[in-house]
Amino acid sequence: MKRKAPDLGDLVELATEARQRAHAPFSRFKVGAALRTRDGWIVTGCNIENASYGLTLCAERTAVFKAVSEGLRDFDAIAVVVDAPKLAAPCGPCRQILWEFCGDIWVRMETLKGKRKTMRMSELLPLPFDRSNL
């Protein structure tokens, strides 16, 4: 049996807007994210690159860190929007951070052309390492 994904249209719209604020002069690959709490607060993020490359922060982590720093917890979904033929799934470090702060939330991946896929974090990060291991 599969759980039905909630309507994530609003989240995609806000992630699309956030994408326009991306600072991606090196890769030119702009990403937008929007993270939602269970009680409806939404925090956006975009990727922020740096000339030293390694300091680049992905859109997903920007959204998580912004939200946590504002005192928000208990998330239920994140949307990630790119302008590319392929969907962008969160990278490895983002999956670890999303699992740590958000647990098994819905992850909607979408392109500007409307290609979309919704998965659970537990599908994207099976067998996680987390506080239950410590």
Q: Which residues are catalytic?
A: 60
In terms of Cβ atoms closer than 10 Å to its own Cβ (0-12, 13-18, 19+), residue 63 is buried
69: helix, strand or coil: helix
CA–CA distance, 91 with 58 (Å, rounded to integer): 8
The reply to whether 58 sits near ligand THU by the rule CB under 6 A is yes
- If binding is defined by CB under 6 A, does position 129 make contact with ligand THU? no
For the chain, first and last CA: distance in Å? 31
Per-position x/- string for 26-55, each x denoting binding to ligand THU as judged by CB under 6 A, each - no binding: -x-x-x---------------x-x------
Is residue 91 a contact point for ligand THU (CB under 6 A)? yes
Q: Which stretch binds ligand THU (CB under 6 A): 4-12, 70-78, 84-92, 123-131?
A: 84-92
CA distance 129 to 116: 28
The answer to whether 59 contacts ligand THU (rule: CB under 6 A) is yes
Answer for which of 15, 77, 80, 107 binds ligand THU (CB under 6 A) is 80
